Each structure stands twice: as structure tokens, then as C-alpha cells.
Amino acid sequence: MDEHGASIIEILASVSILTTMIATGVPQTTALWETFEGSKAVKQFVINVRRARIESLTAGTRGVLKVDVDADGFSFGIDAAPYSNPALSDYSVFRENLGESITLNTSDTLIFDSRGFLVDVDGDPTTAAFSISVKGDLFASGTISSSGRVDIN
């Protein structure tokens, strides 16, 4: 007898193997996507810390980088003399949104003086810590030195 096509058993076996492969791959794809989003957020933050430092140098005055209340983004603005205490920007230069699953925390508002140094509200050189989380899990943390150097742990 000449057979053409596949039997029901062969089709069911193929479907079950395919289903197992998909079920195993989806969680790995999700984890990979979260890693991509976290890496993208870290790079975006580091680039914008450098940008904030350059904007302060260019403007020749104090710049303020502040994390949003919901921690999913940050904004940078210029605080022209006389400086406000607490540090607040007089006008906005840029704003970045990190995404709804990303949260950013900093130890304090980041203030860059007219020479590009990270300073406290009194103008003394300081360092700041930051952390970035993806869906509530810590993804990366680091420090920003008074010279503006960003070290990621």
C-alpha cells in the first residue's frame, strides 16, 4: 500500500515538539528583552549625565538633573544665578523617559557647576550614587564622581 502524507500520530508528535520548543523559548526571550531594556537605560543615563555636564559648561552656570517623581525618567535644566536652594532649574534643556518598566534612583539631585563638576547645593564637590531597576529588580548601580566620571558596578 502506497501512503501519502502524514498520519495523525505524526502530526500530533510534531505539534507537541513545536509547543515544547515555544514554551521554553518565550521566558528566555522575555529575560533577554529585559536585559536589553536595562542596558539601553544605563547607556541613556550615562550619555545624558555627560550631556548635562557639557550643557553646564557651555552655559557657564549651574545645571540641575532631577529624577521624575515616578522615577521613570529625568529632566535637566539650567539654574541661573542667584541659585535656588533646593536646586531647581529656571528653564528646561532636555527631558528623557526611560520607559514604564525602568526606574531610576539617585542619592540626590545632580548639580553640575559652571566648570562641569558635580557639586552639592553649597557648591562643594561631591559624589552621587544611582541605581537602575527593571520591573522592580536591580539591574545596575554606580557612582558619579565630582569630575563627572560615571562608574557602573
- Quote the CA–CA distance of 62 and 79 in Å, as a whole number: 5
| pTM exceeds 0.85 for this model | no
- Domain annotation for the chain: domains and CATH numbers: 8-152 (3.55.40.10)
Task: Give 10-residue mean pLDDT values along the chain (153 residues).
Answer: 73 88 74 88 96 95 94 93 87 92 94 95 95 94 95 92
Q: What SS3 string covers 30-81?
A: HHHHHHHHHHHHHHHHHHHHHHHHHHHHHHCCEEEEEECCCCCEEEEEEECC
3-state secondary structure of 29: helix
pLDDT at 108: 92
Cell output for 21: 520548543
